[in-house]
Amino acid sequence: MKRVITYGTFDLLHQGHINILKKAKALGDYLVVGVTGDDYDYSRGKLNVFQSLAERIENVKKTGYADEIIVEEYLGQKVSDIQKYNIDTFVVGSDWKGKFDYLKEYCEVIYLNRTKNISSTELRNKKNNVLRLGIIGNGRIAARFLKESKYVSGIDVCSVYGRNEEKVKQFYEKFELCYYFTNYEKFLDTVDAVYIATPHTTHYEFAKKALLRNKHVLCEKPLTLSEDFARELFSIAEKNKLILMEAIKTVYAPCFNKLINIAKSGIVGKIVDVRATFTKLIDDKSLREYNLQLCGGSFTELATYPLCVIIKLLGSDIKEIYLKSIFDKYTNVDIFSKMNIEYTEAIATLTVGIGVKSEGDLVISGTKGYIYVPAPWWKTEFFEVKAEDPGKVQKFFTKFDGDGLRYELSEFVKSINRGYSSYKLSSNESILIAKIMEYFLKKFPQYNYVLQKA
């Protein structure tokens, strides 16, 4: 008797799950199905699991393909399960290709190709409520987003749109998506929501067309390069009862939200100074970050992160802004920028760079102490609250899983399902960020053409 085993969360069981179970069953005589437990899902960074463990087990049972159902409770359990149940073949979807090669020491390992062209009815109905998501763009961030999407329940990333057919087709084949398009209107026909992962200057155009077609929008930062454009997009979203969300991953991460709540609690007294730094060295000047026509540079690329923490802590009542930038002599984009933002009784400093490196930490100073977040603070998972007495230090830790994109996607799905926008980054906060982006661009003549185009 050939014995096969497969694992999964099997949340909101849909045809894709059923097809995996059917294929796994066909590979042997006896199928063992491992359903992940709630604690294990949490420990491995799986978000938005809608159904209880009992419901998920019952749904797998009803398919009729499982001869035996077990619960996966911890990392490494697969090795003991394979031996305990005398397994001949381990089966998992090809989106995990290579991840479980270590099990070849114990049994055959097969990565099953994704079932393409599952109908919209099968994926999106009242019973399973799976959101069909399409990606606009096929570059570096889009690839990272797809990998992170495996950790969010309730979605199916089914389509990709790009203007270069050869590149978008390669992306579609690599990630085994259901569809690829170079026609934007046809692409929108296949999805309920879109994730925009294209250069900054294209965000407004893609977002507006998607919202006018009644599609929810998750857009990479910066949402737009203009305050008016940002206001227009949120107005369309509100009118059509759609979710429009700016994808600044930091603001959706658990530890960052704990940081903001603790800072606002008065633990360090009145906050009078916020200093946030985000720099990274990008040497390849052929990349988008150095392309002036695509509005490259350190400020447009990185300033959204420090701006979000400054606005969260000090608000929107800004009195004055002072800015200094250093530009690359070949590409004319800023490789380093420092901005001071003055409030009536506080001041904030943001420092960003793609050609200058500095310590990427965050310091929040108050009248009773300060909060220190070490680099990289934009992937917040640890911070300290310190007072005048060096012996009085409070330490806080909450893990930050993967690349962090799963947090913004999880919040996006939750917002759609509950029917209202997330408090973690409000429309007014995104509009203010767009206003400051526009302020930066208007300061330097080389960006005039880009502003008109955007």
Is the Cβ–Cβ distance between 183 and 209 less than 8 Å? no
pLDDT at 124: 46
Which regions of the chain are under pLDDT 50?
119-121, 123-127
pLDDT at residue 87, rounded to an integer = 96
Q: What residues contact 64, with CB distance under 8 A and at least 6 apart?
A: none
Q: Is the dihedral of CA 95, 97, 103, 106 positive or negative?
A: positive
pLDDT at res. 121: 43
Residue at 22: amino acid letter: K
Decide if 3-112 and 120-247 have a common fold. yes
Sign of CA dihedral 315, 316, 317, 318: positive
pLDDT of residue 267: 94
Domain 120-247 grouped into CATH 3.40.50.720: yes
Mean residue pLDDT of the chain comes to 93
pLDDT for res 56: 94
* Fold observed for domain 3-112: Rossmann fold (3.40.50)
What is the pLDDT, as a whole number, of residue 452? 62
Closest CA to 332 of 202, 445, 451, 454: 445
Per-residue confidence (pLDDT) for residue 115, from 0 to 100: 66
CATH number, domain 254-399, options 3.30.360.10, 3.50.50.60, 3.40.50.1000, 3.20.20.70? 3.30.360.10
Q: Give the count of beta carbons closer than 10 Å to the beta carbon of residue 127.
A: 9
Q: So where are the chain's domains?
A: 3-112, 120-247, 254-399
Q: What is the pLDDT of residue 442?
A: 94
CA 267 to chain CA mean position, Å: 30
